[in-house]
Chains A and B, each alone.
Chain A
Amino acid sequence: MNSVLKLENVSLDIKKDGILENISVEMEAGKVYGLIGRNGAGKTSILSLVASFRKPTKGALTIDGVDPYENEKLMPKVDFLYEVDYSDEYDTAGKMLQTAKRYKEGFDMEYALEVMEGFGAPVDKALHKMSKGQQAAVNAAIGLASNSPVTIFDEVTNGMDAPSREYFYKQVLAAKEKSQRIFILSTHIVSEMDYLFDEVIIVHHGRVKLQEPLDVLLERGFRVSGPEEKVAQFTTGKELLSTERLGPIRSDMVLGRLSEAELQEIDRLYLDISTVKLQDLFIRLTEDKEGVE
């Protein structure tokens, strides 16, 4: 199944509050999408719409041209994993996996158990007795093993320690290679996960600020470093995202693409140039100050 997930001019109002406005994004199978945004930007609301947890107030959401909302064939094809409070859950992780297997056609139990082992999480322990990280591992295992054409992980690594997070990232990449699925990863830990993303969607104040392939997005800006005066000379009149200083060295993050002439000038001034990090770009692009677009 080569799924295409489309949101066209989607808006969501909850009571009288406008949560999402005019969201348009398109995702295709075989890619990992990073959905990033600040707290309250509307990430989980978008994901709730994709998972049919909510219905858009306006606009159209389709999977291969069909609205998945209350569609008994399409709803099981979307798997939405998010942080759940398991403090009252007396079932074991193994029972949870068995339940997922019963309801999800493509669920690979063997792989789920392998993933649980990889996380070092027990399958015979009641969920309420597990640590936050182990509970997160259960969610991750269910999502990875579901083989659902649309798999959403919303802050699913919360509570996991660094080795577990690293293991999860590897498994996402492995699962992506194994089958054509749309993975949507929503996270605050942008710096750790950016290498997983094929495309990045930045949400800000209930709107999609941009959707771009990661490499294209990273070309939106650059970092130039060198002696204070030379850097200042080069970046005068350019859109500065940030300035850092270390002794006589200054490093400016600039928004914009470099022209041939600018590259020659950088050579002439003996300045160092490097790409910006997604996290830096994300922070600057979602800062609420005038002039940053």
Chain B
Amino acid sequence: MSGKSGLATMDYSKEFGKWSMWYIPIFALVYIILNVFIRESELNDMSFFAMALSANRVYMLVLGILAVYTFLEWSLSLGLTRKDFFRAMVSAGVIVTLLVTAATAAISFVFGLMPWFGTGIPEVSGGMETIVHVGGYMLSTLLYFLGGFLISVGFYRGFVPGMGTVVLNIILFMATDVMWSREGAAGIPAIDSLDLMSGMNMGAAAVMTLAVLAIVCAVLYYTIRDIPLKIK
């Protein structure tokens, strides 16, 4: 990574970090309010981290969608190439995914010390399974960020490419959800009934998710490398 890419990675990460300083406390507040006012064992047993794993994906999707509109013009004006922009944004996505996951885990640990909040992750028995479950979620969180980034690039290029990237993302998100879900999170009985996960070990799911991430990165680079910057 060139010096400029490194600088940009730092700047994008800092900016995303600032936004996360709003997101995480607000989400923590929502978690507290839900636990105070709603008495349902499933919800009350759930840790902040377990709830945040899903919410983080949506948050990262939003960050990805904002990527091009917030940073492309700024970056090119400072003399960065589109390649620098792409590399720095993907790197920032990885960093912010790790930071947000770590921050939510730390807050969850603190909440867990209090008697009013749950500590568990539903459907996960603990130990190695927890690590794999969290790892899978982190990979899909990164995929959501890259998906959002792709949507951003698509709509920046025009309405039709934008809608194309939305459809592509729906397929990719659904595919990875199915891969990482025991009972099928696709919500579509025909897909859920395939029970893909039972015939696949966690390692294979991780490899496939990494392959999907690589494909999304390749598509992203292909669409960014000649993207015209629109001014005025």
State the CA gap A77–B81 with chains docked (Å): 12
Given A102-B7, A103-B7, A48 and B80 contact (CB-CB distance below 8 Å): no
Contact of B81 (CB < 8 Å), options: A54, A71, A79, A102 = A71
Q: Mark A122-147, 1 if CB is under 8 A from B, else 0.
A: 00000000000000000000000000
* B82 contacts A104, C-beta separation under 8 Å: no
Given A44-B231, A76-B4, A99 and B226 contact (CB-CB distance below 8 Å): no
Chain B residues near A100: list those with CB within 8 A: 78
Nearest residue in B to A71 (C-beta to C-beta)?
A: B81
Q: Mark A55-82, 1 if CB is under 8 A from B, else 0.
A: 1000000000000001110011111101
Q: What secondary structure prevails in chain A residues at the interface with B?
A: mixed
Which residues 207-232 of B sit at the A interface, judged by CB distance below 8 A? 225-226, 228-229, 231-232
Q: Judge if A53 is at the interface, Cβ distance under 8 Å.
A: yes
* A55 contacts B4, C-beta separation under 8 Å: no
Given A52-B76, A76-B79, A103-B80, A70 and B225 contact (CB-CB distance below 8 Å): yes
State the CA gap A54–B79 with chains docked (Å): 13
Chain B residues near A55: list those with CB within 8 A: 226, 228
Query: Closest Cβ of chain A: how far from B176's Cβ, in Å?
Result: 32
Q: Mark B1-32, 1 if CB is under 8 A from A, else 0.
A: 01010010001000000000000000000000
State the CA gap A14–B232 with chains docked (Å): 14
Q: Judge if B182 is at the interface, Cβ distance under 8 Å.
A: no
Count how many chain A residues have C-beta atoms less than 8 Å from C-beta atoms of the other chain.
24
Which residues 73-124 of B sit at the A interface, judged by CB distance below 8 A? 76-84
State the CA gap A104–B82 with chains docked (Å): 17
Chain B residues near A51: list those with CB within 8 A: 76
Contact of B79 (CB < 8 Å), options: A14, A44, A83, A104 = A104
Chain A residues near B84: list those with CB within 8 A: 72
Nearest residue in B to A146 (C-beta to C-beta)?
A: B79
Given A76-B4, A103-B7, A48 and B79 contact (CB-CB distance below 8 Å): no
Counting from the closest, the 4 A-B pairs by CB-CB distance are: A76-B79, A53-B229, A103-B78, A54-B228
Give A residues with C-beta under 8 Å from B. Answer: 14, 44, 48, 51-55, 70-72, 75-80, 82-83, 99-100, 102-104
Give B residues with C-beta under 8 Å from A. Answer: 2, 4, 7, 11, 76-84, 225-226, 228-229, 231-232
Question: What are 26 A-B contacts defined by CB distance under 8 Å?
Answer: A14-B228, A44-B231, A44-B232, A48-B228, A48-B229, A48-B231, A51-B76, A52-B76, A70-B225, A71-B81, A72-B2, A72-B81, A72-B83, A72-B84, A75-B76, A75-B80, A76-B80, A77-B79, A79-B79, A82-B231, A99-B11, A102-B7, A103-B78, A103-B79, A103-B80, A104-B79
